[in-house]
Amino acid sequence: MNSLILAAIMASADVDLTADPASAFWQPAPAIVIQTDYTGAPVANHRTAVRARWTAGHLYLLFTCQYQALNLKPSPSTTAETPRLWNWDVAETFIGSDFADIARYREFQVSPQGEYVDLDIDRSDQKRGGGAAWNSGFQVKARIDAPRKTWYGEMKIPFSSLGGAAPSAGRELRAGFFRIAGVEPTKKFVSWNATDGKSFHVPEKFGILRLVADNYSALKVEPLASGFPGGEGPVWSRQGHLLFSDFENKRIHRYDPGKGVSVFRENSQGANGNTMDRQGRLYTCEYISRRVTRTSKSGKIEVLAEKWEGKRLNAPNDIVVRRDGHVYFTDPLFTPLEKRELDFYGVYHITPKGQMELVAKPKGRPNGIALSPDGKILYVANSDERNIRAYDVDKQGKATNERVLIPAVPGVDGMRVDVKGNLYLAGRNIAIYSSQGQPLGQITLPESSRNCAFGDSDFKTLYITGRDTLFRVRLETPGAIQY
């Protein structure tokens, strides 16, 4: 089974079908976008988005399908199943609840005209050709937007037809999403998961449909204080307060819940990203002094890094410290220097003994940096490439196996990770992705953000530094803290 994941967001009540992605019901649901066929090859001009929601009784799916020309069945019927509907344009899903017997699953189809089919599939039963007609009781709604060359297909599937345990947050189903479009010889076969290039019916390649409770877009974001044009680098101290930078005013501020904001440090040398270690020491990236420092609990400041191979760093930006003391930081350049000594941007590693090594020399500027809950994966945001890269990290802190985890993220800056491994990316809003790189939703903000950090005694509050304002929002899932 592959690592594809679509998050279905819980809804409070069942609704009538509208096939409208702009409806209030569908607005909170993140979409997966499919632009490949079942061999993994790109399919042009047939972009397909899929969203999912769920209630106690039903699973809802919405397909948004771009097309060039429609292949529609003459004299359509929407009051009874249409046999062999796949001979015309159709969107379909395969869903299985049994992770042991993967040959058994259900198939649901909807056409642009609102025709439908549901089948009970058993790939091990060749006597019936692998599938059988079946009445699940599911409902469909479809509409065609000809000026936009897009059609929409919505499904409402009773959970009782899927078998397995009752629906609950965290439950997972095996799933595949597919689409057939056009006529031979140019017929298109759009597929979420690459199969064997011959059929959609390869259950070993199905992804995961995960039922989640978090409706991130409905969360209440609370402004705490304003007047920080360079707000950055929030980090929660286990002593019960938040520290964050204002690089424009060259200060580090302290926020105490119930008391407000005070100045923690003046003349901060352009402090940007901050973090802490298990000894309660503060680590800071200073872009003006072009160095990384560590401040003891008594206030003593020591320099951890300011040069690489005898040349001064560009402008250290963000930093994270693993539980065992391994330090990782990014060194981009967002402010011009009178004399730049390094001809590359860098991601660096400092061992607990102070030895420094270069992790990567990305073409674009690296920005936010974070670790997975177990400290075995390093994540680095790249502001120019607009992606998130991941690295495997071993016991000695060495980072290898660089790969792009999330290929297209608009305006990414800082980031954090929760205990489930989900990534929270600061940008125009806070975008949340699974550890497999699948979108889960977003927290809508009144102004763009630069960074965020989990805090309060339970680490279920996300503190966010905006372009001028410090915000907070309460979450159900706590953050993963390395200190």
Q: Which two tokens stand for residue 168?
A: 């609950």
Q: What is the pLDDT at residue 467?
A: 97
Cβ 463 vs Cβ 244: under 8 Å:
yes
Buried b (16+ CB within 10 A) or exposed e, 223-252: eeeeebebbbbbbbbeeeebbbbbbeebbb
Q: What is the pLDDT at residue 199?
A: 86
Q: Which helix (H) or strand (E) holds 431?
A: strand 430-433
Interacting residues of 374 by C-beta distance below 8 A, sequence separation 6+: none
SS3 content of the chain, % helix, strand, coil (to 5): 5, 45, 50
Q: Count of CB atoms within 10 A of residue 306's CB?
A: 14
Burial class (CB in 10 A: 0-12, 13-18, 19+), 47: middle
Q: Which two tokens stand for residue 235?
A: 């980090």
Residue type, 66: Q
Q: Which two tokens stand for residue 5?
A: 């994941």
CATH number of 217-474: 2.120.10.30
Among 91, 83, 270, CA closest to 190? 91
Among 143, 155, 125, CA closest to 65? 143
Cβ 216 vs Cβ 442: under 8 Å:
yes
Domain 5-212 belongs to what topology? Immunoglobulin-like (2.60.40)
| 3-state secondary structure (DSSP) of residue 87 | helix
Residue linked to tokens 């469909």: 140
Dist CA 388 CA 372 (whole Å): 13
Q: What is the pLDDT at residue 130?
A: 53
| Sequence ranges of the domains in the chain | 5-212, 217-474
Dist CA 337 CA 315 (whole Å): 9
Distances (CA, A) of 113 to 47, 79, 144, 297: 19, 12, 8, 68
Dist CA 22 CA 37 (whole Å): 27
pLDDT along the chain (483 residues), means of 10: 79 94 90 93 96 96 97 95 95 95 95 96 70 81 98 97 86 95 92 86 93 80 98 98 98 97 97 98 97 97 98 98 98 92 98 98 97 98 97 98 93 95 96 87 93 98 98 95 97
Residue linked to tokens 């005013």: 249
Rounded to the nearest 5 degrees, what angle is found at the Cα of 31, between the Cα atoms of 29 and 32?
A: 150
Dist CA 262 CA 295 (whole Å): 18
Dist CA 129 CA 431 (whole Å): 44
Interacting residues of 397 by C-beta distance below 8 A, sequence separation 6+: 322, 324, 326, 349, 351
Q: What is the pLDDT at residue 1?
A: 40
Q: What is the pLDDT at residue 225?
A: 98
Distances (CA, A) of 119 to 72, 130, 158, 197: 21, 10, 14, 22
Cβ 470 vs Cβ 225: under 8 Å:
yes
